[in-house]
Chains A and B, each alone.
Chain A
């Protein structure tokens, strides 16, 4: 029930927000997202990791096609659902801060998206997964198109074409899988017990990797991303980078690893190589970016590249690491975009050459900013470290050479994060910003939970790891069964 509530409540709230008009919409939406958060937390408290699947619900839906409304949460789903419900209030408040016009439409789209995202993370029927997947894309197109900057049309178009291509391939693969199941079902159990030969697996694998790879994105499928992140309104960028890109990684864990393990074994290395190239590539590009938002977009490609490499290694530590790192990345990237919003609000620019000296006026902002920077360069005892360290452990067992290359991001990350931080915050007082205000109480209250999560997850990462441990083991067992029955 709670799963359905988590999907359904934001959908209802979206409608209610739209009806409540522009004046009230923001407040209603934030309250709705907080209620959703409370529901999410209660699900977390009730969750029993040992039994793997919790809160399942299975109802016949389109019976001629055997499409079911089939949802539930294992540890893997839970982590991403929690991330979604945790981040949405922050994202909505950011929307409030940036004073968007036509707020009722904006907030209802954001809530609609939350509903779809939770659907993606909990669907146990692959067609339902696909429907939620597409449903999650629609609101973000509109958000980018309606509230983006002057380049929004061109960038949204590119974004749209990319994801459309990916989705079509995925749809073909899903229908193909459906036809292969003996009982003609889309359910996870049926798909997991499929024993495809290696050629079939390869096609399905390629189609899925294309769809999920675009979403993450993995090099060289990333070129839609920096432009879209830069052009979208900050709240939209948060949705994209904080939650939506995790759909791609989740898809790989949920569908690719158990269904096409043979293909993964043969071709996964190429994806990992591409991901590692992407880490280095985007880190090098981040060095010379002049717009801070674009810079963070490239940084995000590097971070996600490492997560992808860990997932495609299909090892226990790799998947565990990717889960905790997705959680950490979501918090950190939303944190940094919130800082970006606060900076734009005060200075009107994100061009690094025009910024500087803000620390003098805004010492508290400086502290928040620095903590998030340190988390994103994986300082131990912040949330960024545990995932990164575990990802390196997993990748190292796969290939020490690739790990060494990916490890260069430890150095380059420090270079671009500290250089840009210095350009924005440090140095002598900039006369243009000599009356800049420090963070307000409301802004601080939005940032504090993120900072608290950064520290708590860095010190006690097992809070997350223990939820997912059994589910990941189960997933790998299922994968192992498929492999051994084919060989």
Chain B
């Protein structure tokens, strides 16, 4: 059985190769089905190990594909590691990935580049699978860079638009900044452990590194820098909101099933290292919190439906990093899972809206869509309730788990978490109400065009809605008589540590939950009143009569502009200065003056300096001959 594990990444890879090599021979209508087939087949192979894993019957194993890089004493294998953690991610990637593929068949049907689109999509799934399946850091890095490439290709899919190309380039470069950190962390690990295989590194780490020592702190911090790039955390998050330049299902893929979850996967995979470095964990927590709040604040005033969702992803990722920072790895993966369900749902739902609106993405020109798009409306509602954390939907359980851990650390942590959750609720319902309630504010032409999306699009929505509804039940906490099944699942072979018994009493937990829930409901009510009852539509022009806070949020705190003026511009100025001063003036100057000096000194033999290289070459040969001759004579 183990010998078939290579099929999992190879199927989407084959899909990519077939679609890209035989692009001109494959009918446009067929490419989507081929690509979907590749991913669905991969999902079926994954089930082969996923189902036993769910039953607690999976024996973890490593499968060596080939000896990749010979480093002398250490041979780096291209190998896969199948255990409860990797198989869980593989199931998400191929499962959600299949739904996104299916949806794309209809969504992209009239795009000329549909075959190219699906080939990239397959490559994306392949890369992400390599990332989670790898049995060492370098194979993970291969997938890590691979998803960077795929995001570059897909964000810049419509390559005639240079703004999109810029967004694609930005995503790649921002990721590369993180990658440098990750690479250095990996090198430092290798220097001290002499191996990059997870099993060896994680087994030896407690002996090699002293808890709380500087070395392990530096290593984990560097690895974390990599995570901030890939998982869009402060300060490297700015690429993700721009990444919506790609086709909408791509956003669903990047935000839900692949790419941004990589950082969380990596930290969970190496949790033994992070546990040895409490300082790093604190920093992870602070960065996560800063990201959760900052992105949510920006999300409050955005009017582009995809942009709101993008900032909500950044903010939710911040939540996951908060959990990681508190050592609650299994909770972070739990939130990855529920988030994958509802964020894929929301993005695909927004795609359905955009499809109906003929490409319009500004929520100020929508309104009242619930009548024309009933399925999209219902499923979108479920997604919105789930992300807001309304029980018993998926988001409630995962968010509540994070808040419970936060309270254990400090009531302030809990307060911050609740605050971020309320911001999320506000901007999600603001968007929801502006889109689906009130009266239609678009053009007449758009109004006529409004229609519910075809089955291929609504079916994935329905499946995801179901998952967003019930996905939280996998980790019902003790207060509700559950047994935290998922945390125990990940704890098999002590892969991911279980959290200790909660120190807060059941009563306190009920009270906290109630407070959070009441506040969330109040926020929903508030948005309902302001956006449905009072018909508050954000004005088209935001320059006048707006508060400073609104301006800051609307302009994303000017972070992009700040980066531009403190990094990009100085770099180009440096480049210009170095070129004109050092390269041309100093270095060339020295060479020229040496040449001139030689010319002056050799004025007696000026006549042979004809400037013709032929003459010089001749002299050189003569010179060599002369040396040989002198030696013969001597």
Which A residues lie at the B interface, using CB under 8 A?
62, 64-65, 67, 131, 134, 138, 141-142, 145, 153, 156-158, 160-162, 164, 167, 171, 175, 220, 223-224, 281, 284-285, 287-288, 316-317, 320, 357, 359-360, 367, 374, 379-381, 385-386, 389-390, 392-393, 396-397, 400, 403-404, 407-408, 410-411, 414-415, 418-419, 422, 425-429, 459-462, 465-466, 469
Contacts of A415 in B (CB 8 A): 173
A157 to chain B: which residues have CB within 8 Å? 611, 613
In which size bucket is the chain B interface?
Answer: 35 or more
Contact A160 B145 (CB under 8 A): no
Whether the pair A288, B572 counts as a contact (CB closer than 8 A) is yes
Whether A381 touches B146, Cβ cut-off 8 Å, given contacts A161-B595, A288-B575, is yes
B69 near A392: Cβ-Cβ < 8 Å: no
Query: Given A396-B191, A407-B184, is A389 in contact with B138 using a C-beta cutoff of 8 Å?
Result: yes
Question: In the assembly, what is the distance between CA of A224 and CA of B20, in Å?
Answer: 42
Which of B72, B141, B184, B611 is in CB contact (< 8 Å) with A320? Answer: B72
Of the listed stretches B39-47, B286-294, B379-387, B626-634, name the one at the interface; the rest are far from the partner chain.
Answer: B626-634
B277-328: which have CB < 8 Å to A? none
Within the complex, the shortest CB–CB distance from B176 to chain A, in Å, comes to 5
B173/A411 in contact, CB under 8 A: yes
Decide: B169 and A418 in contact? CB cutoff 8 A: yes
The complex places the Cα of A377 from the Cα of B134 at a distance, in Å, of 22
| 23 A-B residue pairings within 8 Å (CB atoms) | A64-B631, A138-B621, A160-B613, A164-B616, A171-B624, A284-B575, A287-B571, A320-B72, A359-B159, A386-B69, A389-B138, A392-B187, A393-B187, A403-B184, A404-B180, A407-B180, A410-B179, A418-B152, A422-B162, A460-B66, A461-B69, A462-B67, A465-B69
Across the interface, A427 reaches (CB within 8 A) one of B162, B179, B575, B611, namely B162
> Which residues on B sit within 8 Å (CB–CB) of A400?
184, 187-188, 191
Question: How close is A168's CB to chain B, nearest CB, in angstroms?
Answer: 8
Cβ–Cβ < 8 Å partners of A414 in chain B:
172-173, 176
Contact A418 B172, beta carbon cutoff 8 Å: yes
The 5 A-B pairs with the shortest beta carbon distances in the complex, nearest first, are A380-B142, A396-B187, A288-B575, A287-B575, A465-B70
- With CB as the reference atom, state the residue of chain A lying closest to B591: A223
List B363-386 residues whose CB lies under 8 Å from chain A.
Answer: none
Residue of A nearest to B162 (CB): A427
A170 to chain B, nearest CB (A): 12
Q: Are A410 and B165 in contact, with the CB atoms below 8 A? A: no
A159 to chain B, nearest CB (A): 9
For the complex, what is the distance from the CA of A120 to the CA of B529, rounded to whole Å?
Answer: 83
Pick from B576, B578, B627: contact of A175, CB below 8 A.
B627
Complex contact B579–A131 (CB within 8 A)? no
CA–CA, A62 to B632, complex, Å?
Answer: 9
| B residues in contact (CB < 8 Å) with A | 20, 66-72, 78, 138, 141-142, 145-146, 149, 152, 156, 159-162, 165-166, 169, 172-173, 176-177, 179-180, 183-184, 187-188, 190-191, 571-572, 574-576, 578-579, 582-583, 587-588, 591, 595, 611, 613-614, 616-617, 620-621, 624, 627-628, 631-632
Given the known A-B contacts A223-B591, A284-B575, A427-B165, are A396 and B72 also in contact in the complex, defined by CB atoms under 8 Å?
Answer: no
B571, chain A: closest CB distance, angstroms: 7
- Known pairs A131-B624, A392-B187 / 7 extra A-B pairs, C-beta < 8 Å: A145-B614, A153-B613, A162-B591, A164-B616, A426-B162, A427-B162, A428-B161
Q: Which residue of B lies closest to A144 (CB)?
A: B613
**Contact: B176 with A134, CB < 8 Å?**
no
B572 to chain A, nearest CB (A): 6
Q: Please, how many angstroms separate the alpha-carbon atoms of A164 and B145 in the complex? A: 43
User: What is the minimal beta-carbon distance from B113 to any residue of chain A, in angstroms?
Assistant: 9
Distance A209 CA – B447 CA, assembled complex (angstroms): 75
Asked whether, in the complex, the Cβ of B578 is within 8 Å of the Cβ of A393, the reply is: no
Q: How far is the CA of A188 from the CA of B341 in the complex (A)?
A: 67
Docked Cα-Cα span, A280 to B576, in Å, equals 14
Q: Tell whether, in the assembled complex, residue B187 and residue A403 are in contact, meaning their CB atoms are under 8 Å apart.
A: yes
Indicate if the CB atoms of A411 and B177 lie closer than 8 Å.
yes
Name the A residues within 8 Å of B159 (CB-CB). Answer: 359, 425-427
B72 lies within 8 A of A469 (CB): yes
The reply to whether A153 and B611 contact each other, CB–CB distance below 8 Å, is yes
Among A392, A400, A426, A466, chain B packs the most CB atoms within 10 A around the CB of A426
**A379–B67 CB distance below 8 A:** no
Shortest beta-carbon distance from B590 to chain A in Å: 8
Contacts of A389 in B (CB 8 A): 69, 138, 183
Provided the pairs A65-B628, A407-B183 are in contact, do residues A428 and B160 lie with their beta carbons within 8 angstroms?
A: yes
How many residue-residue contacts, CB under 8 A, span A and B? 164
B587 in contact with A404 (CB, 8 Å): no
Flag if A64 contacts B146 (CB, 8 Å).
Answer: no
Q: Find out whether the CB atom of B70 lies under 8 angstroms from the CB atom of A288.
A: no
Q: Which residue of A lies closest to B179 (CB)?
A: A410
Residues of chain A within 8 A of B620, CB atoms compared? 134, 164, 167
Instruction: Report Cα–Cα, A403/B191, bound state, in Å.
Output: 13
In the assembled complex, which residues on chain A have CB atoms less than 8 Å from the CB atom of B149?
374, 379
Q: Contact at A418–B173, with CB atoms within 8 Å? A: yes
The distance from the CB of B315 to the nearest CB of chain A, in whole angstroms, is 26
Contact between A411 and B69, CB atoms less than 8 A apart: no
Nearest chain A CB to B129 CB, angstrom units: 13
Task: Report chain A residues within 8 Å CB of B190.
Answer: 393, 396
Pairwise interchain contact A390-B71, C-beta atoms closer than 8 A:
yes
Which of B184, B187, B571 has a CB less than 8 Å from the CB of A284?
A: B571
Q: How many Å lie between the Cα of A105 and that of B108 in the bound state?
A: 55
Question: Given that A65-B631, A407-B184, A426-B162 are contacting pairs, would A223 and B587 also be in contact in the complex, using a CB cutoff of 8 Å?
Answer: yes
Q: How far is the CB of B494 from chain A (nearest CB, A)?
A: 30
With a cutoff of 8 Å between Cβ atoms, the chain A residues found around residue B184 in the complex are: 396, 400, 403-404, 407
Distance between Cα atoms of A64 and B78 in the complex (Å): 56
A190 to chain B, nearest CB (A): 16
If A65-B628, A408-B180, A410-B179 touch, whether A288 touches B576 (CB-CB below 8 Å) is yes
Question: In the complex, A386 Cα to B156 Cα: how many Å?
Answer: 27
A167 to B623, CA, bound (A): 11
**Residues of chain A within 8 A of B180, CB atoms compared:** 404, 407-408, 410-411
Known interface pairs A160-B613, A285-B579, A320-B72; A411-B176 also in contact (CB < 8 Å): yes
Contact of B70 (CB < 8 Å), options: A360, A418, A466: A466
Closest Cβ of chain B: how far from A211's Cβ, in Å?
14
**Given A284-B578, A285-B578, A403-B184, A156-B70 contact (CB < 8 Å):** no
Decide: B183 and A410 in contact? CB cutoff 8 A. yes
| B178 to chain A: closest residue by CB | A411
A397 and B191 in contact (CB under 8 A), knowing A410-B176, A414-B176, A466-B70? yes
Look across to chain A and name the residue whose beta carbon is closest to the beta carbon of B153: A370
On whether the beta carbons of A381 and B142 are closer than 8 Å, the reply is yes
Q: How long is the Cα–Cα vector from A390 to B576 in the complex, in angstroms?
A: 32
A223 and B588 form a contact (CB under 8 A): yes
Give, as a whole number of angstroms, the nearest-CB distance from B576 to chain A.
6
- Residue in A138, A357, A397 whose beta carbon sits within 8 Å of that of B617 in the complex: A138
Q: Looking at the complex, which one of B145, B177, B614, B632 makes contact with A380 (CB distance below 8 Å)?
A: B145
Contact A220 B587 (CB under 8 A): yes
A146 vs B587: C-alpha distance in the bound complex, in angstroms? Answer: 27
* Bound-state Cα–Cα, A134 to B621, Å: 8
A223-B591, A389-B69, A411-B177 known; A287-B145 Cβ under 8 A: no
What CA separation (Å) do A48 and B169 show in the bound complex? 46
Q: Closest residue of chain A to B187, judged by CB?
A: A396
Q: Which chain B residues border A374 with CB–CB below 8 Å?
A: 149
A64 to B633, CA, bound (A): 9
Residues of A within 8 A of B575 (CB): 284-285, 287-288
The minimal Cβ–Cβ distance linking A277 to chain B, given in whole angstroms, is: 11
Chain B residues with Cβ under 8 A from A64's Cβ?
A: 631-632
Name the distance in Å between A280's Cβ and chain B's nearest Cβ. 10
Q: Which B residues are in CB contact (< 8 Å) with A167? A: 620
Q: How far is the CB of A379 from chain B (nearest CB, A)?
A: 5
In Å, the complex CA distance between A177 and B142 comes to: 47
Pairwise interchain contact B160-A360, C-beta atoms closer than 8 A: yes
Nearest-CB distance from B480 to chain A (Å)? 45
Residues of B within 8 A of A392 (CB): 183, 187
Q: Hey, which chain B residues are within 8 Å of A419, CB to CB? A: 169
